[in-house]
């Protein structure tokens, strides 16, 4: 039998075994690659119909994992220690049980990946190819980070708190444990409410969400909420780790220092109305009143306004927005009724937050594909 010729590797694919390939942009006609598909099957989004739940059932909450999910059983006898070290008077070594003995707080927090919307950009930054679904809301229970830092006694001259996870990998040639920092001011700000969490929606953290311990940083894009938390290090110099100064920067060109990715930009999402076509996911509705519902959030300020357009963005109708004043970090619910007549439509929804930020009608582009809060557009057919 004839041996099949090995297929030439596409020009744009990194060479086999190259673990130091730089970040790159997809070519003009380059579809989603096998490597991006492999990321997309590991890092799944929120099925948009799950926007109906106030808190997202774990399993439907989006997941983003840079490397591998560490194996961390959460039972008696299982050893996991979190250390609080560096520029502190009393370094701490705590296991999950010791954390559970401390006064607990629960915050309802909407987390969103900074890369949400990336796959809608042109040119497309080659990475996890999110559309609009990298979001979820959970009740996170744990100990305020401020309490642990107070217990350890942060010394004068402290600048950053570096959170390091147990997961290890290589990214653009840099071998690393996943690590991110917060300023001491942000880490201890009671209005920010940063938590070392051990429970999600009242149950121990699922493996993919950081079992047994994770940071939860309300209002910030997800990269700040370090999972599988092992170490909190108080430093006297600004942290310059990969995820802080190389990844997660808003840049127009590679090589620029860029601006740090921090707070979540406003976004509204709609529960796709009616029912879907299997392949295209085009929505199908019948004529008459169609209730449109969804969620909206912003890390800058509570959502002030949600508008929907069903005439191709010529006119906008205000939705009724129900925010929960005691849960400022959770998404708000919105609803409005549309009276559908037969025909094809594109429904658009956009949010504005109390700080005056509105979702754009054209995608804000940057090299890493971060913070693309372009409005959601839902293709729909109203039957005769
Ligand atoms: N240790 C560790 N923490 C991590 C990550 C990671 O890869 N490793 N991913 C971050 C990113 S980019 C996001 S968006 C959130 C996702 O949290 P979730 O999977 O619980 O939704 O976790 C953050 N924390
Ligand atoms: Mo992310």
Residue 9 has pLDDT above 80, yes or no: no
At 150 the pLDDT is: 98
Query: What is the rounded average pLDDT of the residues 63-80?
Result: 85
**Does the domain formed by 34-260 have CATH 3.60.20.10?**
no
Residue 5 has pLDDT above 80, yes or no: no
Quick: pLDDT tens for 364-380: 999 999 999 999 999 99
How much of the chain, in percent, has pLDDT values that exceed 70?
95
At 194 the pLDDT is: 98
Quick: pLDDT tens for 41-67: 999 999 999 999 999 998 999 999 999
Average pLDDT, the chain: 95
Residue 224 has pLDDT above 80, yes or no: yes
Q: Which ligand is nearest to the CA of 72?
A: 1
At 78 the pLDDT is: 66
Q: Which residue's alpha carbon is at the smallest distance from atom 15 of ligand 1? A: 222
Query: What is the rounded average pLDDT of the residues 290-306?
Result: 98
**Residue 185: how many other CB atoms lie within 10 Å:** 12
Q: What is the pLDDT confidence band of residue 19, given thresholds at 50, 70 and 90?
A: confident
Q: Which ligand is nearest to the CA of 46?
A: 1
Query: What is the rounded average pLDDT of the residues 215-224?
Result: 98
At 75 the pLDDT is: 63
Domain ranges of the chain: 34-260, 267-382
**Please, are residues 325 and 366 in contact by the beta-carbon 8 Å criterion?**
no
| Closest ligand 1 atom to 208 CA | 19
CA distance 213 to 58: 16
Quick: pLDDT tens for 273-282: 999 999 999 9
Q: What is the pLDDT confidence band of residue 77, given thresholds at 50, 70 and 90?
A: low
| Closest ligand 1 atom to 63 CA | 19
At 15 the pLDDT is: 72
Count CA atoms closer than 13 A to 13's CA, side-chain side. 13
Is 140's C-beta closer than 6 angstroms to any atom of ligand 1? no
Q: What is the CA radius of gyration of the chain?
A: 22
At 58 the pLDDT is: 87
Is 222's C-beta closer than 6 angstroms to any atom of ligand 1? yes
Quick: pLDDT tens for 314-367: 999 999 999 999 999 999 999 999 999 999 999 999 999 999 999 999 999 999
Q: What is the pLDDT confidence band of residue 83, given thresholds at 50, 70 and 90?
A: very high
At 117 the pLDDT is: 98
Residue 251 has pLDDT above 60, yes or no: yes
Residue 292 has pLDDT above 70, yes or no: yes
Q: Which residue's alpha carbon is at the smallest distance from atom 9 of ligand 1? A: 65
Q: Which residue's alpha carbon is at the smallest distance from atom 20 of ligand 1? A: 209
**Please, are residues 84 and 166 in contact by the beta-carbon 8 Å criterion?**
no
CA distance 312 to 348: 8
Is 80's C-beta closer than 6 angstroms to any atom of ligand 1? no
**Please, are residues 109 and 179 in contact by the beta-carbon 8 Å criterion?**
no
Residue 25 has pLDDT above 60, yes or no: yes
Beta bridge partners of 138: 109
3-class DSSP string for the chain: CCCCCCCCCCCCCCCCCCCCCCCCECCCCCCCCHHHHHHHHHCCCCCHHHHHCCCCCCCCCCCCCCCCCCCCCCCCCCCCCEEEEECECCCEEECHHHHHHCCCEEEEEEEECCCCCHHHCCCCECCCCCCCCCEEEEEEEEEEHHHHHHHHCECCCCCEEEEEEEEEEEECCEEEEEEEEEEHHHHHCCCCCCEEEEEECCEECCHHHCCCCEEECCCECHHHCCCCEEEEEEECCCCCCHHHHCCCEECCCCCCCCEECCECCCEEEECCCCEECCCCCCEEECCEEEEEEEEEECCCCCEEEEEEECCCCCCCEECEEECCCCCCCCCEEEEEEEEECCEEEEEEEEEEECCCCECCCCCCCCCCCCCCCCCEEEEEEECC
CA distance 37 to 315: 37
In CATH, which of 2.60.40.650, 2.40.128.20, 3.90.1650.10, 3.40.50.620 is domain 267-382? 2.60.40.650
Burial of 122: CB neighbours in 10 Å, binned 0-12, 13-18, 19+? exposed
Is 192's C-beta closer than 6 angstroms to any atom of ligand 1? no
Quick: pLDDT tens for 86-115: 999 999 999 999 999 999 999 999 999 999
């Amino acid at each position: 039998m004839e041996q099949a010729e090995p297929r030439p590797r596409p020009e744009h694919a990194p060479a086999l075994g190259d673990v130091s390939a730089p970040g790159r942009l997809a070519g003009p006609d380059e579809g989603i690659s096998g490597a991006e598909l492999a990321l997309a099957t590991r890092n799944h989004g929120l099925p948009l119909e799950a926007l109906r739940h106030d808190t997202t059932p774990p399993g439907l909450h989006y997941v983003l994992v840079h490397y591998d999910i560490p194996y961390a059983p959460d039972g008696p006898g299982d050893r996991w220690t979190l250390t609080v070290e560096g520029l502190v008077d009393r370094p701490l070594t705590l296991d999950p049980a010791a954390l559970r003995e401390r006064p607990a707080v629960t915050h309802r927090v909407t987390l969103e990946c900074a890369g949400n919307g990336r796959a809608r950009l042109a040119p497309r930054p080659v990475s996890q190819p999110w559309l609009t679904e990298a979001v979820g809301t959970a009740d996170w229970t744990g100990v305020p980070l401020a309490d642990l830092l107070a217990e350890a006694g942060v010394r004068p001259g402290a600048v950053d708190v570096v959170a390091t996870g147990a997961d290890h990998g290589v990214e653009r040639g840099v071998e690393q444990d996943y690590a991110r920092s917060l300023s001491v001011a942000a880490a201890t700000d009671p209005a920010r409410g940063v938590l070392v969490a051990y429970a999600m929606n009242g149950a121990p953290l699922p493996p993919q969400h950081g079992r047994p311990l994770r940071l939860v940083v309300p209002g910030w894009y997800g990269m700040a909420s370090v999972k599988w938390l092992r170490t909190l290090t108080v430093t006297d110099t600004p942290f310059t780790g990969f995820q802080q100064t190389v990844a997660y920067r808003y840049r127009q060109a590679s090589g620029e220092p860029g601006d740090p990715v921090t707070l979540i930009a406003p976004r509204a999402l709609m529960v796709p109305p009616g029912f879907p076509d299997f392949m295209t996911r085009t929505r199908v509705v019948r004529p008459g009143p169609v209730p449109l519902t969804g969620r909206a959030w912003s890390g800058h300020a509570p959502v002030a306004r949600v508008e929907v357009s069903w005439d191709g963005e010529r006119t906008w109708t205000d939705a009724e927005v129900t925010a929960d004043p005691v849960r400022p970090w959770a998404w708000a619910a919105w609803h409005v009724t549309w009276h559908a007549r037969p025909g094809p439509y594109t429904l658009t929804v956009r949010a504005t937050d109390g700080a005056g930020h509105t979702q754009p009608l054209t995608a804000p582009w940057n090299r890493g594909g971060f913070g693309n809060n372009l409005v959601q557009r839902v293709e729909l057919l109203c039957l005769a």
